[in-house]
Amino acid sequence: MFSSHADMASSLLHISPSCGRWLRGSSLGSGSFGNVSLGLSLDDGLLFAVKSAPASPAAQALSLQNEFHILHALHSPRIVRCLGASLTALDDTPCFSIFLEYMEEGTIADLVKKSGGRLEEGRARECTRAILEGLCYLHKQGVVHCDIKGQNILLGSRGEIKIADFGSARKVSSRENSESCSMRGTPLWMAPEVVQGVEQGTPSDIWSLGCTLVEMLQGRPPWGSIQDHTSPNDLASLLFRIAYTNEGPSLVECLFSAEARDFLSKCLERDPKKRWTAEQLLRHPFVMLKEEGLCSLYRSQVSPRSALDFFMDSDLESESSGSIKSFAYATKLYCTKVATDNEATVREDCGSRWFSVRCTACWSEDRQKPFFRTEKEVIVKKGNQVSLESLGFLARRMRPVVG
Ligand code: ATP
Ligand code: MG
């Protein structure tokens, strides 16, 4: 598709906002299409995720480009936000990168592992509802995600649940017939019609949602995990079972309430025409949350955009005492010298560098940003003091790589 990196760069010029100077931090994960790492903007302290794929061979970069083209047009609190795209370098190799909002709590698959191998049903309901809301939005936009699974649902530190990884997604336009496209996704989460190679439309995402619910409640997708199907023959016979038999997935009955089982039966309906839509499923009792549940789900939809968003709740008790407490707390553990009530030198335990955190009462016009970083200092506007967590976070993550 691109004969040279220059071609690729020029194709990006009209869609890529400048990302300014930034540092690449530690790895957040990797998958079939690329490597994801943490990024820190040196201009405004913004933390973001950078998903990169080598520019050559083209297949991976093209998948990432597809992701960018679909994602940058989507705007929903249930979809991970795309901040831009650019040509960058990773270990001196030219690569295509997209910049995404950072979701610091990892994936639903991570959560299942951390929670002892399965989620309790209340939490699984919340997650299912959030994914459904995201799918409802996507399907209204004519987008099929094609790879819904626990590993592609991200969690934020304030309870946000968002659909990510649009590398396999596609737009189903009236001109494009879903039957004419190649099938995409992860085999164990694929709908029968996808495995058969017949079609991959919005109902296929609903089947994968059902598999994701089983993954949450049972700790592994229906049909067992990939480790249970190590030989190509095993996998082939499993795919045959999914595609051509009337067999249902084996469920550990006691882990599913009657409501959960009924919800699953609507998702794992073999005939895509009879399968419920995202809109219908949103009215199913399994995801109709009680008032209390809704509160916890919607209490905090705001995703942190910078290190400054890592306030501890207790820091925000009251504006004045809260901010002093935050500053005092930070100074207690990190300070080497307190100059005044509003200024301190704070050690960053990262190589031999030292940083100051200065809380200025009078903020000059030219320093309007709440977070300001010079070569040796992190300066924070009063009222936006960096919390202990933020300092620790910066100290752990900063690693200069790319200017
Ligand atoms: P797959 O193997 O599903 O095809 P992929 O190569 O398309 O994966 P992603 O699923 O987008 O890549 O990302 C891989 C992993 O990186 C995720 O499972 C997650 O752990 C991490 N990750 C991705 N995006 C973010 C983000 N915005 N914030 C935090 N972590 C992220
Ligand atoms: Mg993925």
- Return the closest-CA partner of residue 398 out of 88, 41, 106: 41
pTM of the model: 0.71
Testing ligand 1's pocket by substitution, the residue of 36, 97, 145 carrying the most ligand atoms inside 8 A of its CB is: 36
Report strand pairing: 353-360 vs 378-381.
Answer: parallel
What are the Cα distances from residue 240, in Å, to 188, 197, 254, 342, 345?
12, 12, 27, 68, 65
Q: Can you tell me which residue has the tokens 């189903």? A: 172
What's the CA dihedral at 136, 142, 146, 149 to 10 degrees?
Answer: -20
pLDDT in tens, the chain (403 residues): 334 444 443 333 333 344 567 888 889 988 777 789 998 887 777 789 999 988 877 777 888 989 999 999 999 999 999 988 888 777 777 888 999 999 989 999 999 999 999 999 999 999 999 999 999 999 999 999 999 999 999 999 888 999 999 999 999 864 555 555 677 888 889 999 999 999 999 999 999 999 999 999 998 877 776 566 666 667 788 888 889 888 877 788 778 899 999 999 999 999 999 999 999 999 999 998 654 443 343 333 333 333 333 322 233 223 333 333 333 333 333 333 334 444 444 443 333 233 334 333 333 333 344 444 444 444 444 334 444 445 444 444 433 322 2
Q: How far apart, in whole angstroms, are the C-alpha atoms of residue 314 and residue 298?
A: 20
**Predicted local confidence at residue 303, as pLDDT:** 33
What's the pLDDT at 221? 77
Which is nearest to 214 in space by CA: 246, 252, 185, 241?
Answer: 252
Asked whether 168 lines ligand 1 (CB < 6 A), one says: no
CA 212, CA 296: separation in Å to the nearest integer? Answer: 22
Which residue puts its alpha carbon closest to atom 6 of ligand 1? 31
pLDDT score, position 359: 36
Decide whether any atom of ligand 1 lies within 6 Å of the 297 Cβ: no
Q: Determine how β-strand 170-171 pairs with β-strand 143-144.
A: antiparallel
Number of H-type helices and E-type strands within the chain: 12, 14
- Shortest-distance Cα residue to atom 10 of ligand 1: 165
Q: Which atom number of ligand 1 is nearest to the Cα of residue 152?
A: 10
Q: So which residues are the catalytic ones?
A: 147
Q: Which residues pair with 359 in a beta bridge?
A: 380
